[in-house]
Amino acid sequence: MPSTATRKTIDVRELGFEPNGSFGTDVDVQVDDAGDETVVEVAYEGWVWTLEFDKYGQLTDAPTDSSPAWLGPVIKKADPALKVC
């Protein structure tokens, strides 16, 4: 099955989060669905988080670095079928 990628820009304020200081509000999300796995890349102000999900939407690989509180809600808004906390 060929891979299907979608890109979205999400404003974290729409999810009830307010960025600190002079940081922007837009988060870029790419969801690459390859059928048996989905890779999500979230980019914000120079930081990038990559997460992998199995074909059932279960998280299989996540970044070990700390992530912002809005990361899960942003992924859920980008692809509601993915299971994130």
Question: Domain count of the chain?
Answer: 1
Domain that holds residue 23: 4-78
The 3-class SS string of 4-73 reads EEEEEEEEHHHHCCCCCCCCCCEEEEEEEECCCEEEEEEEECCEEEEEEEECCCEEEECCCCCCCCCHHH
Q: Is residue 49 part of a domain?
A: yes
For a pLDDT cut of 70, what percent of the chain falls above it?
Answer: 96
Q: Which residue has the higher pLDDT, 65 or 69?
A: 69
Q: Is residue 85 part of a domain?
A: no
Model pLDDT, residue 65: 79
In a domain, 83, yes or no: no
Whether 58 is covered by a domain: the verdict is yes
- Over the stretch 16-37, which tens digit does the pLDDT of each residue have? 998 887 789 999 999 999 889 9
Task: Look at the chain and count its residues.
Answer: 85
Q: Looking at the domain assignment, is residue 84 inside a domain?
A: no
Residue 56: inside a domain: yes
